[in-house]
Structure 1
Amino acid sequence: MKLERAVQTYLRHVALERGLSDHTVDAYRRDLAVYTAWLGERGIDEVEAVTSATVAEFAAERAAAEPPPAASSLARLQSSVRGLHRFLVREGSVPDDPSGRLRPPRAPQRLPKALSIGQVEQLLDAAGPAPGSADAAGADPAAVRDRALLEMLYATGARVSEIVQLDVDDTAHGDVLRLRGKGSKERMVPVGSYARAAVDAYLTRVRPGWVAKRRATPRLFLGVRGAPLSRQSAWLIIQAAAERAGLTAHVSPHTLRHSFATHLLQGGADVRVVQELLGHASVATTQIYTHVSVDALRDVYATAHPRAR
Structure 2
Amino acid sequence: MDFENWSDIKKEFEQFLKFERGLSINSIDAYLNDVSKFQIYCEDNHLVLNTVTRKNIQEFLAWLQEFNISPFTQSRLISGLKTFFSFLMIEHEFVNNPTDLLQAPRLARKLPSVLSIHEIDQLISAIDLTSPEGERNKTIIEILYGCGLRVSELVTLKISNLFLDVEFIKVEGKGSKERLIPIGQHAIKHLRIYLETVRPHIKIKGGNEDIVFLNRRGAALSRVMIFLIIKELASKIGLQKTISPHTFRHSFASHLVEGGADLRAVQDMLGHESITTTEIYTHIDRDYLHSIITQYHPRS
Matches within 5 A, 1:52-131: 52-65=54-67, 68-126=68-126, 128-129=127-128
Match of 2:44 in 1: 41
**1:255-294 equivalences in 2 (<5 Å):** 255-294=247-286
Which consecutive residues of structure 1, in runs of 5 or more, have no partner in the other structure?
130-135
Q: Indicate whether 1:166 and 2:157 are aligned.
A: yes
Cα distance in structure 2, aligned partners of 1:43 and 1:199: 59
Identity of aligned residues (%): 36
Aligned to 2:19: 16
Runs of at least 4 residues of structure 1 off by over 6 A?
A: none
Q: Which deviations, in whole Å up to 9, do the C-alpha atoms of 1:151-206 show, x marking residues without a partner? A: 11100111111111211111134311112222222221111122112222221233
RMSD: 2.0
Counterpart of 2:119, as a letter, is Q
- Matched residue pairs, number? 296
Q: How far does residue 212 in structure 1 lie from its aligned partner after superposition? A: 3.0
Letter in 2 for 1:266: E
**Structure 2 gap ranges (5+):** none
**TM-score normalised to the size of structure 1?**
0.88
Q: Give 1:51's match in structure 2, choosing from 46, 50, 53.
A: 53
Instruction: Indicate the residue corresponding to 1:133 in structure 2.
Output: none
CA contact (8 A) 1:47 1:94 kept: no
Alignment partner of 1:180 is 2:172: yes
Secondary structure of the residue aligned to 1:179 is strand
The alpha-carbon deviation at position 273 of structure 1 amounts to 1.7
2:235 matches 1:243 = yes
Deviation, structure 1 residue 302: 4.9
Query: Separation in 1 of the partners of 2:116 and 2:171?
Result: 25
Contact 2:169 2:180 in 1 (8 A): yes
Q: TM-score, normalised by structure 2?
A: 0.90
* Cα separation, partners in 2 of 1:211 and 1:37, compared to 1, 3 Å: farther
2:198 aligned with 1:206, yes or no?
yes
Bigger CA drift: 295-304 or 174-183?
A: 295-304
Task: Give yes or no for contact 2:116–2:251 (8 Å, CA) kept in 1.
Answer: yes
Q: Distance in 2 between matches of 1:148 and 1:196?
A: 9
Q: 242, 245, 267: which one pairs with 1:253?
A: 245
CA distance in 2, matches of 1:278, 1:215: 28
Q: 1:216 Cα shift?
A: 4.3
**Contact residue 208 and residue 220 of structure 2 kept, 8 A:** no
1:86 Cα deviation after fit:
1.1
> What's the counterpart of residue 33 of structure 2?
30
**Residues 221, 179 of structure 1: CA spacing in aligned structure 2 closer, same or farther, 3 A cutoff?**
same
Task: Tell me by how many angstroms 1:38 deviates.
Answer: 2.8
Amino acid in structure 1 at the alignment position of 2:247: T
CA change 1:100–1:198 in 2 (3 A) is same
**Structure 2 counterpart SS, 1:91:** helix
Task: Determine if the alignment matches structure 1 residue 221 to structure 2 residue 213.
Answer: yes
> Equivalent residues in 2 for 1:118-157 (5 A)?
118-126=118-126, 128-129=127-128, 136=129, 139-157=130-148
Change in 2 beyond 3 A, CA 1:54/1:210: farther
Q: Equivalent residue of 1:206, what SS? A: helix
Q: Does structure 1 residue 6 correspond to structure 2 residue 13?
A: no
